[in-house]
Amino acid sequence: MKMKYIFTAFLLFGAFVASAQETYENTKMVDNDLNGTAKYIGMGGAMDALGGDISVISTNPAGIGIFNSSRADLSFGMVSQQGAKAFGNANATNASFDQVGFVYSMKDKWGSGFNFAANYHKSLNFDYILSAAGALNNASQNTLSFLKAIGGYDQNGTSIFNVENTNNGLMGKAPYTSQLDNLYYNNFIIDNSSLPGYNSASKYLMNRANSGYIGVYDFNISGSTNNRFFYGLTVGIHDVHYKGLSAYNESLVNYQGQSAGSLTVNDERNITGSGADFKIGVIFLPIKYSPFRVGLSIATPTFYSLTTSNSTMLTNSSNVTGYNKGWTTSEAYSFKLNTPWKFGLSLGHTIGNYLALGASYEYADYSAMKTLVNTGSSYDPYYGSYYDTSSNDVTMNNHTKQTLKAVSTFKIGAEFKPMSNLALRAGYNYLSPMYSMQGYKDGSIDSYGSNYSSATDYVNWKSTNRLTLGAGYTMDRFNIDLAYQYSAQDGEFHPFMDAYGDYYYMNTQTNKVEVEKIDNYQDPVKVSNQRHQLLLTLGYRF
């Protein structure tokens, strides 16, 4: 019989001390979708130097300065995930309202003057259904919590198994316990002499459905000089609405390797908030009497103020006696997040009035994303109000540096007009990977992001490829445009981080201290995100 452990050596790849939101959760706020008008999508978004489309308001504000007349656009369509099966209330195909905006031109007949534009577009569509299943070979999610527990003595030698249910905050005495850990500690992992501290599993099944969007409201002022030099400034307001629902199930086995029933963790997480950013850009024609043009753009980080909340339920359907059958936990907290700077270089050229060619390159170092902890509030005597104060989370940001990478985005596109009122378009995008394939969701970090975590899974996504096609038809002042976009991205799903430890216990039969080596490893499972988008834009020039 195993008595209470007396010592443990524990290792989880790395250990940090900090407080903030978690790196993989932060990447949900990265808006790398290609979206806007059908003309913009049809050309693969490679219009930053060409301009003349309202969607460049978010990528190169100077492109709005190219307009010589006022116009308004409205875009909507459908987005479908290839191969996805409905989960919960989520469907593989959904309608999407993508863009609405206008440009008001105040330029003179010589091509100088100012333009004003306002536009809304859906910069990120969260709709995605993930399904993953794999073998565990005696690893399990609750074993990870157990390993954290036996490594979690406080200064007095008290184990974090000594926890109490409370409505006043998180439970547990170790700095890196999470909501999910405490569900296991209080309802499934039992520390006494008669029951094992954890249960291994033979396989798992994960289903998750994300929904929601980030909507961006852009306001632009731009101008031009003699139709050779264009400049612009855009202020963007970001509106975040994210919801994630998941069900994670493990098939448990006992110490004899026999089936012991199953365990399910149902999780619901919501992220809401807002952010702001600024973009500046220029376009210039370096060669007189040539339509060849060069564009440069810079976007500041998006400064987000966010709130995350969750409700998580553990359901125990195992046949091991002595455990609780179900328990629920919920928490909420606010934090701040700054995305990285973005830098863009673009080229554009037209041949006659029948061919337009564009190419764009964008660089953003996502390892430089910054998470900040809300530390309290301060009083502003000028406005007579309070505002949140925050501090930079150095340790979580170090984890982000190790997990994420700089992303290079390449876009090329072309428009051909076989007739003056008919346009045919095509484009291609390549986005380099954001994630290090050696990265992992580190549940051992002492941070709000880890303490309030209710899930252990993560995906290291690889590069993204997009192919676009489009067509447009003009009738006097009206135009109608259609676009199709196919995007594909592969990744590796992990149900939890790898970990191992040595569990020391007293064997009452031999009256000696013995050690049990616990290896909690699992092989990643390949997942993909293949999406099809159809978009319709209705436009009017005035």
Give the H or E element holding residue 321. none
Quote the DSSP letter at residue 341.
P
Domain residue limits, the chain = 8-541
Whole-number Å distance between alpha carbons of 507 and 486: 61
Whole-number Å distance between alpha carbons of 67 and 537: 18
Q: What is the pLDDT of residues 225-259, one digit of tens each?
A: 988 999 999 999 999 999 999 999 999 998 778 88
pLDDT the model gives residue 154: 44
- What's the pLDDT band for 475 if we cut at 50, 70, 90? very high
Nearest alpha carbon to residue 397 among 447, 359, 443, 356:
447
User: In percent, how much of the chain has pLDDT > 90?
Assistant: 64
pLDDT the model gives residue 249: 97
Whole-number Å distance between alpha carbons of 203 and 253: 10
Q: Are 47 and 413 in contact (CB under 8 A)?
A: yes
Q: What is the pLDDT of residues 510-527, one digit of tens each?
A: 888 778 788 999 999 999
Query: What does the angle CA 20 – CA 22 – CA 28 come to, to the nearest 5 degrees?
Result: 125
Query: What does the angle CA 474 – CA 57 – CA 421 come to, to the nearest 5 degrees?
Result: 10
Nearest alpha carbon to residue 451 among 50, 20, 71:
20
Quote the strand ranges of 32-168, DSSP E: 71-81, 93-107, 113-125, 128-135
Q: Residue 194 corresponds to which amino acid?
A: S
Whole-number Å distance between alpha carbons of 469 and 414: 10
Q: What is the pLDDT of residues 334-384, one digit of tens each?
A: 889 999 999 999 999 999 999 999 999 999 999 999 988 777 666 566 666
Enumerate the β-bridge partners of residue 318.
Answer: none
Q: Give the CA distances from residue 35 to residues 486, 487, 537, in Å, rounded to whole numbers and listed in that order.
A: 12, 12, 12
Q: 169: Cβ–Cβ under 8 A, 6 or more apart, which residues? A: none
Whole-number Å distance between alpha carbons of 413 and 360: 9
Q: What is the pLDDT of residues 298-325, one digit of tens each?
A: 999 999 999 999 999 999 888 765 566 7
Higher-scoring residue by pLDDT: 308, 164: 308
User: Mean pLDDT, to the nearest integer, of 412-441?
Assistant: 96
Model's pTM, two decimal places?
Answer: 0.88
Q: Residue 165 corresponds to which amino acid?
A: N
Ramachandran class of 339: left when φ > 0, alpha when ψ lies in -120 to 50, beta otherwise: beta
Q: What is the pLDDT of residues 112-145, one digit of tens each?
A: 889 999 999 999 999 999 999 999 999 999 999 8
Whole-number Å distance between alpha carbons of 187 and 183: 6
- What's the pLDDT band for 4 if we cut at 50, 70, 90? very low
Average pLDDT, the chain: 86
pLDDT the model gives residue 447: 74
- What's the pLDDT band for 172 if we cut at 50, 70, 90? very low
pLDDT the model gives residue 69: 93
Radius of gyration of the chain from its Cα atoms, rounded to whole angstroms? 27
Fold of the CATH domain 8-541: Porin (2.40.160)
pLDDT the model gives residue 192: 47
Nearest alpha carbon to residue 176 among 504, 460, 367, 456:
456
Residue 2 has pLDDT above 60, yes or no: no
- Range with the poorest average pLDDT among 153-157, 463-467, 506-510: 153-157
Residue 273 has pLDDT above 90, yes or no: yes
